[in-house]
């Protein structure tokens, strides 16, 4: 018989030791531990857009480029993202925080989803539009 008293099975006994070895890493931010593409599998378009904006605000431009849809990565480098972000900061002041995000258009599985992220900078708030293709970033732009 493959069962212990009280109905415990061998499968449960194998699972418990594996789970007990998973330890959180203290002192590292979640954005550095989990790639955005992994987060995207279980999160909303708004959360994906906010994570992308946060990567740029934290000067993680190389990581942000990796989250762009692969065919579009050809024309986008960490330097172009850095320049675009620095232009926003020059016009609006230092990044303060993300205010809110709003789904503008849900393109479904085949289309493009548009998320407006309201970002608070030192001198003024800006609405940034993040366009997603599936769970990946296709582009972003600032409203004038």
HEC states along 54-104?
HHHHCCCHHHHHHCECHHHHCCCCHHHHHHHHHHHHHHHCCEEEEEEEEEE
Q: How far is CA 59 from CA 79, 81, 104, 120, in A?
A: 11, 10, 26, 16
Query: pLDDT of 23-76, one tens digit each?
Result: 333 333 444 444 555 544 558 999 999 999 999 999 999 898 888 877 666 678
Tokens of 11: 């499968």
The larger pLDDT score, comparing residue 40 to residue 79, is at 79
Confidence (pLDDT) at 73: 60
The larger pLDDT score, comparing residue 72 to residue 15, is at 72
CA dihedral 127, 131, 137, 140 (to 10 degrees): -40
> What does pLDDT average to over the chain?
75
CATH classification for the domain delimited by 44-142, as one of 1.10.260.40, 3.40.50.2300, 3.30.930.10, 3.10.450.590 = 3.10.450.590
Tokens of 77: 């480098």
Tokens of 65: 């480029």
């Amino acid at each position: 018989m493959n069962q212990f008293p009280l109905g415990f099975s061998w499968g449960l006994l194998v699972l418990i030791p594996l789970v007990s070895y998973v330890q959180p890493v203290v002192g590292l931010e979640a954005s550095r531990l989990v790639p955005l593409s992994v987060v995207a599998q279980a999160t909303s378009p708004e959360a994906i857009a906010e994570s992308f904006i946060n990567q740029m605000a934290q000067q993680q431009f190389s990581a942000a480029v990796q989250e762009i849809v692969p065919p579009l990565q050809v024309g986008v480098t960490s330097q172009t993202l850095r320049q675009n972000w620095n232009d926003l900061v020059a016009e609006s002041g230092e990044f303060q925080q993300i205010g809110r995000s709003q789904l503008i258009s849900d393109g479904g599985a085949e289309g493009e989803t548009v998320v407006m992220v309201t970002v608070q900078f030192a001198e003024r708030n800006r609405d940034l539009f993040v366009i997603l293709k599936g769970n990946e970033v296709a582009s972003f732009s600032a409203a004038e």
